[in-house]
A and B are shown apart, each in its own frame.
Chain A
Amino acid sequence: MSPPLEHDYIGLSELHSPAAAVGGGGAEDGALNLKDTELRLGLPGSDSSDRKDKVALTLGLLPKIFVSGAKRGFSDTIDGAGKWGLAAGGGGSEVEAGKSCALFSPRGERGGGGHGNAGNDAVGKAVGHERKDTGQVGDSAGNDRGVAPAAKAQVVGWPPIRSYRKNTMATNPSKNKEDANGKQGLGCLYVKVSMDGAPYLRKVDLKTYSNYKEFSLALEKMFSGFTIGQCGSHGIPGRDGLSESRLMDFLSGSEYVLTYEDRDGDWMLVGDVPWEMFTDSCRRLRIMKGSDAIGLAPRAMEKCRNRN
C-alpha cells in the first residue's frame, strides 16, 4: 500500500491506496486502481461504466462532501465524452455563485510536473484555497455548494474575466458545445437537465410547458426512475429509488434544488422570474442535492479545517 498522500486529510488516501477503499466491489485489477490513484482524487473520469460501482462504494468511505463531486463527474463523463473527467459540466461556463471548495483543480496545465505530484499539489493548493474560502462570502444566490463539484475550482469572479466577455466566447459555437442547448428551432427549446447522482442527463423542451408547475411535474416524472446510489448523511450507501415523499420534495423541499444556467453563465435558482423570462434565459438545468446548497457543506468545511 502506498503511503498516504501528503495533503490527504479527508481520507483520500483510502481512495489512493490501490488495495484500499475501492477494494469492495467492481473490477479490481491493479491497472484500474492505479488509474484511481493517479489523479482522479476520487472523481470518476472517462472510465467505463463499472466505475459507477466503484463510485457508489467509495462514496461509502468518503465523507459526504465528496458526493456531489463524484456524481457530477460521472454524469459529465457521459455528457462530455473525451473531456477530462474533472471538467465540470462539460467545461461549460459555470460561474458558481458560491465559493466552492477548490479541492480539485484541473491538471493538464501543470505541464511537466508528474501526474501524481500535480495531484498532490492540486489538493494541497485546493486545501489552502478552501480554507480561505470557508466562511467567506457565500455570495448571493446561496449556491454554496461548498465542495468541489467535479474539481473545477469554481470561485466567484475567478478567473477575472468579464461576464460580458464570457458571453462573447460562449456564443462561439466552435468553442462551446453547451451553446447547442439553447438553440431554438421551429418553436422548440431543448435544454439539458442534469441531476446529481443520475447516470445520464435528459433533455426537455421548455416550450412545451406554460408554467413552472407543469414543468416541475414533468421533471419529477422524468427523473423518478433514477436510483440515487448516494450516501445518506451517515455515509451509508443507499439504494432507494425516489420514494413518493422524495418526489414531493423534489423542488420545494430540502432534498433537491432546481437551478439553471442563464445566458450570462450564472447559476440561478429556478422560480424567481416569470416563466417567459426563465425560458428566454435558461440554457441548461441542474437538479442539485439540496444539502449541497446549504447546511451540510459548511459543517464539512469545519471538519476539514479542524483536522488541519
Chain B
Amino acid sequence: MVGGFRWAAMFPDEVWEHVFSFLPADADRNAAALVCRAWYRIEQRSRWRVFVGNCYAVEPAAAVRRFPEVRAAAIKGKPHFADFNLVPSDWGGGAEAWVEAMAEGWPHLEELRLKRMVVSDDCLELIARCFKNFKVLSLVSCEGFSTAGLAAIAANCRNLRELNLHENEVEDNCLHWMSHFPESFTSLVTLNIACLEGEVNVYVLERLIGRCPNLKTLRLNHSVPIQRLVGLLHRAPQLVDLGTGKFAAQHHPELFSTLESAIAGCKNLKSLSGFWEAGPTYLPAIYSVMDLIEDDGLIAVAASCKLLQELRVFPSDPYGAAQPISLTEHGLVAISAGCPMLHSVLYFCRQMTNSALLTVAKNCPNFTCFRLCIMEPHTPDYITRQPLDAGFSAIVESCKHLRRLSLSGLLTDLVFKSIGASANCLEMLSVAFAGDGDAGLHYILSGCKNLRKLEIRDCPFGDQPLLDNAAKLETMRSLWMSSCSVTLGACRQLARKMPLLNVEVINERKRGLPLELQPDNCPVEKLYIYRTVAGPRSDTPSCVWILR
C-alpha cells in the first residue's frame, strides 16, 4: 500500500519503541520488524533481550550486529541428552566465540545466562573485565571453569546482582574466591553456589551477606555445616529462597532450637532446598520438608499443598533393584487430584497404569509440562499388561496447553498418532525405547505443528520419516536421534536437500573407515540435526561429521 505507512513517520521513533516494548514475545517483535524498514530499524535498536536456543544456529558476530543494543543474553549449547552422557564430552558448545563477540559488540551487556556450555576461566575473566555494568551471571549445567574464574567475577563486577551457579562442574582451585568481593560490594540479590564442591569460607560469606541488604536467594553448598547456618540466617532475615548446606550433625538441643528460631525468623521464606545429608535430627526444624517421599508422602502433599504448581520426584536409588519404598502411580494420581494448580510434573516411578494416566489427564487439563519416567524400559501397564498408549494419549488429548512431554514405558506407534494429532502446543518431546517402526516418527514429524525440539533414543525409527519430513526439520530447533535405525545414506540425502540444516553424525567408535568412505547403508549411532544460518561449525571434534 504505497504511502500507507506515511503516518508512521509522524511519530518519533521513541513512541514506536515504547509500543514495541509491549510485545510479549520475540516472535511478535520479529513480525513487527518485517513491516517496513523504519520499524525494522526501530525494533532492532530497541531489542534488549535475546535468546539463542542453539549457540550454533547463528554466528555470534551476526547476532551482535543484528541487535546492537542488547543488555541481556541467554544462550544454550549442548543437546539436552548431554545431561545423560549421550553426547561426547568434546562435542562442542564452547562459549568463547560468543563471549568474545559480545565483549566486542555489547559492552553494555548486563545479564548473561548460559546453559550446557563449556565456559573457560578466560571467558569469565573477559566477562569480568569488559562489561562495566554487569549484573547477572547465570551458569546452568556448564563446565570448564574454576573458582579462579569466579574470583575474577567477584573482584571486578561491582554491580553484580546475581551469581547463579546451578549444577555446574566447577574445578576448585581458588579457595578464597569469595574474598575477592570488595568491602564496598553490597548489591547481591541472588547467590547460588550449591554446586561448588570445595570448602566455603563461612566467615567471608557471613560478612558478604551481612553487607548485602537486598539478598533474597541464598543457596549454599554441602560444605557449610548446620552450625554455621544460624549465623548466616541471622544476617539475612529477609531471605525468600534458602538452600541449606549440610543438614546433619550430632543432636544438640540448643543448636536445634536456635536453628528453629533462626529459620522462623526469616518471615519471607518461601522456598527451601539443599539439605545435603539431611538426617532426622534436624529436619523437624523445617516444616513441610520431605527428603524421601513415597505415595503416603505425596498423598499428604496433595492434601495440604493446594497451591503446588510444580512437582519433581526423583528416585532415591535409581539403580537399586527391589525398591523398599512405595512410590507408585498412586502418588501421582493423588497429587493430580489434590493440587489443581499443578502444571509441571517430573515423575520417576517403576510402575504405571493406563487408568492412572487417564485419571491424571482428567484431573489436570492444565499441564504444561509432563515428564514421566518409568524406570524400566518397555514397562507395560502392570495390571492389564497393555502398552501405555491409551494413558499418554489421554494426557495429550486433555492437556491442550502441553508444551513439554517425556514418554516412557511400553509404547507402540499408536501413541505417536495421538501425539501428532492432538499435541498442538507441544514444543519439546522426549522419546525413549518406544514405537514399532517408521510410522511412529512420521506421525510426530507430520503433526505437532509447534514442535521445536525432538530427542529420541533407542527407537526403531529409520530413514523414511526423516526424508519424507525434511522440511519440518527446518521449522524446529533441533532433532536428536541415537540408537535408532537411521543410515548414513539418508543423512547424506538430507544434508544435500536441506542446506539450512547442519546434519551432524556422531560416531565414537574409532575403528573402521572414516565416515566419508563408509557406504550409504552404514548405520548411524547418533544424529544431531539443527537449523542454522551459520553453516557448518568449525569446532567439531574428531567424532563428529557435518554432512554436506
B399-440 toward A: CB 8 Å interface, digit per residue (1/0)? 000000010001000000000000000000010110000000
Residue of B nearest to A94 (CB): B319
Task: List A contacts of B430 (CB < 8 A).
Answer: 160
Instruction: Establish whether residues A106 and B315, one from each chain, have CB atoms under 8 Å apart when the complex forms.
Output: no
Instruction: Establish whether residues A137 and B483, one from each chain, have CB atoms under 8 Å apart when the complex forms.
Output: yes
Interface residues of B (CB under 8 A from A): 81, 83-86, 88, 141, 167, 169, 195, 222, 276-279, 292, 314-323, 328, 348, 350-351, 373, 375-380, 382-383, 385, 406, 410, 430, 432-433, 457-460, 482-483, 508-509, 523, 525-526
Instruction: Establish whether residues A137 and B508, one from each chain, have CB atoms under 8 Å apart when the complex forms.
Output: yes
User: Given B321, B373, B382, B508, which contacts A160 in the complex, CB threshold below 8 Å?
Assistant: B373
Most buried by A among B316, B319, B380, B383: B319
B195 to chain A, nearest CB (A): 7
Task: List A contacts of B432 (CB < 8 A).
Answer: 158, 160
What does DSSP make chain A's interface, helix, strand, loop or mixed? loop
Instruction: Establish whether residues B483 and A133, one from each chain, have CB atoms under 8 Å apart when the complex forms.
Output: yes
A132-149 toward B: CB 8 Å interface, digit per residue (1/0)? 110111111000000000
Instruction: Establish whether residues A152 and B195, one from each chain, have CB atoms under 8 Å apart when the complex forms.
Output: no
Instruction: Establish whether residues B328 and A160, one from each chain, have CB atoms under 8 Å apart when the complex forms.
Output: no
Instruction: Establish whether residues A129 and B377, one from each chain, have CB atoms under 8 Å apart when the complex forms.
Output: yes
Instruction: Establish whether residues A161 and B314, one from each chain, have CB atoms under 8 Å apart when the complex forms.
Output: yes
What does DSSP make chain B's interface, helix, strand, loop or mixed? loop
Docked CA distance A117–B81 (Å): 33
Docked CA distance A136–B314 (Å): 28
Instruction: Establish whether residues A113 and B385, one from each chain, have CB atoms under 8 Å apart when the complex forms.
Output: yes
Instruction: Establish whether residues B322 and A87, one from each chain, have CB atoms under 8 Å apart when the complex forms.
Output: yes
Interface residues of A (CB under 8 A from B): 83-84, 86-89, 91-95, 99, 102, 105-113, 117, 121, 125, 128-129, 132-133, 135-140, 151-166, 168-169, 171-176, 266
Task: List B contacts of A129 (CB < 8 A).
Answer: 377-378, 433, 458
Q: Known A95-B85, A153-B377, A156-B86; judge A83-B351 contact (CB<8 A).
A: no
Task: Sample 21 A-B pairs with CB under 8 A, ordered by A number.
Answer: A84-B321, A87-B320, A93-B318, A105-B376, A109-B323, A109-B375, A110-B382, A117-B385, A125-B379, A129-B378, A133-B458, A136-B483, A137-B509, A137-B526, A152-B319, A154-B319, A156-B84, A159-B375, A160-B430, A172-B316, A175-B316
A221 to chain B, nearest CB (A): 31
Residue of A nearest to B329 (CB): A111
Instruction: Establish whether residues A136 and B525, one from each chain, have CB atoms under 8 Å apart when the complex forms.
Output: yes
Docked CA distance A176–B315 (Å): 12
In the complex, the 5 A-B pairs of residues with the closest C-beta atoms, listed nearest first? A109-B350, A157-B84, A91-B320, A106-B321, A87-B321
Docked CA distance A94–B276 (Å): 22
